[in-house]
C-alpha cells in the first residue's frame, strides 16, 4: 500500500483565521442592567465568553429592551441597528 494511503488525513486549519467569540443580544439583556457599559472584560466576568480568546462579535439573536453601551470588536448589521433602536450605543474596538 502506498505511503500516501497509509498516513491518516487531517483537516485543514487556516493559519491567519481570526476566531471570534459570539455573544447574542438576548444574553446581554438578561445579564446587564439599563445604562451599563459592556466591555469584553465585563463579558468575561459575567461568564458569557472565555478569557483565552481575544475578539468578540455581537449577534442579533433575541431582543434588547434596555439602552446599553456595548464595546466589541465586531457587530452584525442587524445587532447594531437593534442596539441603536433601543437607545444604546455600539462602539467598535480596534
Mean pLDDT (the chain, rounded): 91
84 confidence band (pLDDT: 50, 70, 90): very high
Q: What average pLDDT does range 48-64 have in this prediction?
A: 88
Does residue 7 form part of some domain? Answer: no
- Predicted local distance difference test score (pLDDT) of residue 94: 83
Does residue 4 form part of some domain? Answer: no
- pLDDT tens per residue across span 10-49: 888 888 887 889 999 999 999 999 989 999 999 999 999 9
Q: What torsion do the CA atoms of 4, 10, 16, 18 make, to the nearest 10 degrees?
A: 170
* Residues of the domain holding 23: 13-92
Q: What is the pTM of this model?
A: 0.78
The Cα 6–Cα 8 span in angstroms is 6
Does residue 3 form part of some domain? Answer: no
- Predicted local distance difference test score (pLDDT) of residue 54: 79
CATH number, domain containing residue 37: 3.100.10.10
- The total of structural domains in the chain comes to 1
Does residue 8 form part of some domain? Answer: no
Does residue 85 form part of some domain? Answer: yes
Amino acid at each position: 500500500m502506498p505511503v500516501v494511503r497509509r498516513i491518516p488525513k487531517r483537516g485543514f486549519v487556516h493559519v491567519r483565521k481570526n476566531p471570534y467569540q459570539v455573544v447574542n443580544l438576548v444574553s446581554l439583556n438578561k445579564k446587564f442592567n439599563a445604562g451599563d457599559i459592556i466591555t469584553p472584560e465585563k463579558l468575561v466576568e459575567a461568564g458569557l465568553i472565555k478569557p483565552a480568546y481575544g475578539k468578540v462579535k455581537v449577534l442579533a439573536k433575541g431582543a434588547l429592551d434596555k439602552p446599553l453601551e456595548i464595546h466589541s470588536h465586531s457587530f452584525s448589521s442587524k445587532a447594531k441597528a437593534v442596539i441603536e433602536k433601543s437607545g444604546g450605543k455600539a462602539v467598535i474596538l480596534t
